[in-house]
Chain A
Amino acid sequence: MGKEEQFKTATQSAQSSGYKVVGTRPIRPDGIEKVTGRANFGSDYNLPGMLVGRIVRSPHAHARIVSVNTDKAMALKGVKAVVTSADFPEIGPKARGAGEAPISFRDLSRNVMAREKALYDGHAVAAVAATTTAIAEQAAGLVEIEYEVLPHVLDARESMKPDAPLLHDDMFTKGLDPKPETASNINQRFEFGIGDIAAGFAAADVIVEYDFTTQCVHQGYIEPHACVANTTEDGMSTVWASSQGQFMVRNYSATVCGMDISKVRVLPAEIGGGFGGKTTVYLEPVAIILSKKAGKPVKIVMNREDVFRATGPTSGGHAYAKIGAKKDGTITAGELTMEYEAGAFPGSPVQFGCMTGYAPYDIENVKTVGFDVVVNRPKVAAYRAPGAPVAAFAVESALDELAKKLVMDPIALREKNAATEGTQSAYGPKFQRIGYLETLHAAKNHPHYSAPLGPNQGRGVASGFWFNIGGESSAAMHINEDGTVEVVTANPDIGGSRASMAIMAAEVLGIDVSRVKPLIADTASSAYSMLTGGSRVTFAVGKAVCEAADDVIVQLRQRAAKVWDVDIDAVEWTDGAAINTKSDANDSLTLAAIANTAGKTGGPISGKANINATGAGPGFGTHICDIEVDPETGRTTVVRYTAIQDVGTAIHPSYVEGQLQGGAVQGIGWALNEEYIYDDKGCLQNGGFLDYRVPVASDLPMIDTVLVEVPNPGHRFGVRGVGEVPIVPPLAAVANAVAAAANVRMTDLPISPPKLLAAIDGSK
């Protein structure tokens, strides 16, 4: 199918699909609890006799822990337990977790509680539990820790130098041939590619190349990490925690504490934002061990400074991009080399950067190389499309300059090279039905793209890609006596997923969505489900919900067949009722009628589906951004913004729009304001919302959205993940708008006023 034909068929959207509930905007089932303050988040749980836990953190960026003396802290009246790494089992290097990105439990254990060395400012070294907050804080100050301060390193390229301070003397770079004989701070080298870039650049008429730098940024969820753990004499530990996955918390905590998984039960709290940052544990294992030692429940809540100093920012780093094209705009070669800061332990998302950078384009010759580099910063955690925004910043900024050199419209350049169905991606798979081209057409035709600009204003365009994932997912469905339905899943609702689960269940069952009650179960009450991440929940858990509904429908037909004394094949399920196709009168029994008499036809009705969902559809987005630059001060103002994305099918369009808007704004913050600032000792200087400035309401215009619906063939309703794509384009969309407004190419994020002013002055 040609590109234009694909576009024509693409807009067969949910509106014309005949769905009754999918695509509508009901009020979310958990909404009232959240607008009245009733919803319980991580720090809202309290138990009788509960103690307050506090973490003692390293004030040094890199230091050997010579000794830890807890005697004085323990002696303080009201202190019930003090723990150090000696209270946690030593974990071998081979213990690795499954999941989206396999993690080393040895590293996780050492991140939860430093063992030989403190590897960043804020690294946990000890913890106390006491009867009051004041006593816990006093006790934390009484833990005596002797440090031997070591030289530190914060920047990826600095850390790669042979004379850089070494974080781990047993780390030998993987992905090199031959295997290196000396340890270094480079954990791994990744390479992806296709064709021959030397030949590709030789065939190019025009080549652009730029070197980009970005800073470490934080997910910035408003709810600090929090948990309560109650370890009892039977060796059981019950944990209430705010996280992106109760099963993740259970597995990680049990492993770090050396417990059987069955000894830990995790009850999911409402989660006050995560964006990938709550896909690991920091506090839970500590609370479990403190509670075990004290014999009482222990609550630990981070303060905001702890969150910035010690939890998952995403990588800053460097990216070099070089792109060559023919005069007609055909890209002949793309190169990308990136060094990402992983923080204190290996595991930056650089490989995802390598894979995503050129994914929107059909290019014959591509080479991407990435280095995962440890530095004395907090260990990075996932952040919305991990690794992709920095890669896209480099590639999409370079493309903007390429378009200028070719005297070509930047959307036209992208249209000419856009990946479509059947395109062989440089990172591996051949794309199935995707909607990138449709987002470009929608951008070109959007009134925003042709609207006049004011003085000192410029317009930028950029695109982005994310894989989206499926994974292990579970759902159970219980039919109540009156025919209302409980839908039980085990994935924290981070942005409206209960509503999506209810909508899909109602659509399959053929009933009103108000008859469906979604519930998020704890680890003892549900089959395993992978955590909420990878834009997987509406797709994968939704698939499980649909299949659980299928299971229920078979049972409902069986019950009706029994009532009518006919074969099940004679019973159809239509609009929430069983229809007897063998009767002239078209006898029907509603879900409520069957439920009401379930006792007489075989007992309770309940369905389930436990699946490993495949068929996740990749997502593409294109954003248009208008920026006004004050040439006197370098201040930037986003004056108009439009986010366009192929969302597959929008199950609840309002929450899909919300994903686009929120992701775009996080990207705007990344581009313009946000960065970790360290002093010369490697200590974080801006660990608070006053100095780490996330966008506020007065910084922004309304964020317009266009939902392009190219259904994903891998899901019965066409769902694609939507949450991560929208943070990928904004960095370059903003930088390209600044370039248009001020005629300077900013290659170093954030584009803060002093930096931009210096660039404007330098260009005069």
Chain B
Amino acid sequence: MSKHHVTATINGDPVEYLCTTEQTLLDVLRDDLQLTGSKEGCASGDCGACSVTIDGRLVCACLVLGVEAGGCEIGTIEGVADGDSLHPLQQQFLQEAALQCGICTPGFIVAAKSLLERNPNPTETEMRYWLAGNLCRCTGYDKIITAVSNAAAELRGE
């Protein structure tokens, strides 16, 4: 089976990869590009552990084909921190103990970042509905909501 040659931008850097037609973007990221921060929890778009952005749009990488990402700007958890400086969301997740096992955390941070880029001052209900596509089985979401809320305030300069 011949593979497709794809060029894309990931976290600001140009990337080339070869993928088969049926390979998902998540498979490409994890298996071929060794970007294992995006996690596979379900492979059916139900858990959000593989949340990434494509041209600014929040998607589940397991529901996108590798070939579909051609020419796109892809954002993953590996691009959220700036060098050794954590994003306010990452800092708040740590500060508020918003993770226990940590498997869902990359997806939550990518999804929450996407929310705050659209809506810098979300209500609790808006946060809960935006993040309803990200499953966490450890925390009951309480501390995640607090962390996102705090990060939003920090990003607004409050």
Contacts and interface: CB of A to CB of B under 8 A. Distances in A.
Partners in one complex: yes
Interface of A: 25, 27-28, 30-32, 34-41, 43-44, 46, 133-134, 219-224, 270-275, 301, 303-304, 494-496, 652, 654-655, 657-658, 661-666, 688-690, 694-700, 702-703
B143 A654 contact: yes
A703 B94 contact: no
Contacts of A35: 86, 90, 93-94, 99, 102, 105-106, 109
Contact of A220 (B1, B93, B137): B137
5 contacts: A43-B36, A658-B140, A696-B135, A700-B140, A703-B142
A658 B20 contact: no
Contacts of A273: 100-101, 103, 137-138
B42 interface: yes
B135 A689 contact: yes
B128 A697 contact: yes
A46 B27 CA distance: 13
A695 B27 CA distance: 27
B131 interface: yes
Contact of A32 (B22, B38, B94): B94
A304 B76 contact: no
A529 to B, nearest CB: 19
B135 A304 contact: no
Contact of A494 (B27, B100, B109, B127): B100
Interface residues of B, number: 61
B143 A134 contact: no
B141 A697 contact: yes
A494 B101 contact: yes
Contact of B132 (A25, A38, A41, A696): A696
A272 B102 contact: yes
A658 B137 contact: no
A661 B142 contact: yes
A37 B97 contact: no
Contact of A303 (B43, B99, B103, B127): B43
B101 A495 contact: yes
Contacts of A27: 94-95
Contact of B105 (A34, A699, A703): A34
B80 interface: yes
A38 B37 contact: yes
A223 B41 contact: yes
A689 B137 contact: no
Nearest to B104: A222
A696 B111 CA distance: 14
Given A36-B81, A654-B96, A661-B142, A690 B102 contact: no
Nearest to B95: A27
Contact of B39 (A220, A272, A666): A272
A36 B78 contact: yes
A663 B106 CA distance: 22
A711 to B, nearest CB: 22
Given A34-B105, A37-B77, A662-B100, A304 B43 contact: yes
B86 A36 contact: yes
Contacts of A658: 97, 100, 138-140, 143
B100 A31 contact: no
Contact of A495 (B27, B36, B41, B138): B138
Given A36-B37, A134-B22, A662 B77 contact: no
B44 interface: yes
A222 B137 contact: yes
Nearest to A38: B37
Nearest to B93: A35
B132 A698 contact: yes
B114 to A, nearest CB: 15
Contacts of B31: 46
Given A222-B41, A272-B103, A694-B137, 6 more contacts: A31-B94, A221-B101, A223-B41, A304-B46, A304-B47, A654-B96
B10 interface: no
Given A222-B103, A661-B143, A28 B128 contact: no
A27 B92 CA distance: 10
A15 B86 CA distance: 32
Given A37-B78, A222-B47, A665 B141 contact: yes
B101 A304 contact: no
A44 B97 contact: no
B134 interface: yes
B136 interface: yes
Interface string B111-138: 0000000000000110111011111111
